[in-house]
Amino acid sequence: MDKITLGSNSYMSKLRRSGSEFTLSVNGETFAGTYSKKSNGAIEVSMNDTNSIGFSEKNGNEIYVFLNGVNYVLKRESGVLKDNAFEEESRDTVLSPITGKLLDKKVESGDLVSKGDVVVILEAMKMEHRLKAPRDGKLSKLTLAQIGDQIKEGELMFELEEE
């Protein structure tokens, strides 16, 4: 079972192939279909009486899909158990939403912060991004990166002490 996420929607999905046929299960619903690869690398999918041709490539936990005029970047978590699949992101932990450069740290580890206070400032593609405290609390962790260092998307930026 894979958890596939796009924007705020997630889908518990599983696909079984057998020759040119496949069975897809999405959030408990099951679909049957067929597919074929085209000479130019496209894949044709036939499901629910509809044939569509698109492109699809995966890389790490990302899958890039073009289908019916829309480009998608899907996140995939493989082997997810259904029960904890839709767990909410913690309000205590703030990750970098971008890959970029650390421009400034406004507070120090251990400081008390109020909801909305700017904690760190990042820069990517000529724009500043201010990461703010999601609630009042005490800063239990703060990135060890120095000003000017490169930051990766998903890297822990700071954490608030548990309430």
Q: List residues near other proteins by CB under 8 A.
A: 2, 4, 6-9, 11, 13-15, 17, 20, 22, 24, 26, 29, 31, 33-59, 63-74, 76, 97-101, 124-127, 129
Smallest gap from residue 163 Cβ to other proteins (A): 26
Rounded to the nearest whole angstrom, what is the least distance from the CB of residue 19 to other proteins in the complex? 9
Nearer to other proteins, 50 or 146 (CB): 50
> Rounded to 10 degrees, what is the CA torsion of 141, 145, 148, 149?
-140
Q: Which is nearer to other proteins, 56 or 109 (CB)?
A: 56
Name beta bridge partners: 34.
21, 46
Give the count of beta carbons closer than 10 Å to the beta carbon of residue 122: 22
Q: Which is nearer to other proteins, 48 or 84 (CB)?
A: 48
Per-position DSSP letters for 81-137, written without gaps between them? -STTTTPPPPSSEEE-SSSEEEEEE-S-TT-EE-TT-EEEEEEETTEEEEEE-SSSE
Residue showing tokens 């998903």: 154
Least distance CB 123 / other proteins (angstroms): 8
136 near 111, Cβ under 8 Å? no
As measured in angstroms, the least distance from the Cβ of 65 to other proteins is 5
Tell the smallest beta-carbon distance from residue 110 to other proteins (Å).
26
Give SS3 for 25. strand
Nearer to other proteins, 55 or 107 (CB): 55
According to DSSP, the β-strands at 2-6 and 70-77 are: antiparallel
Nearer to other proteins, 101 or 106 (CB): 101
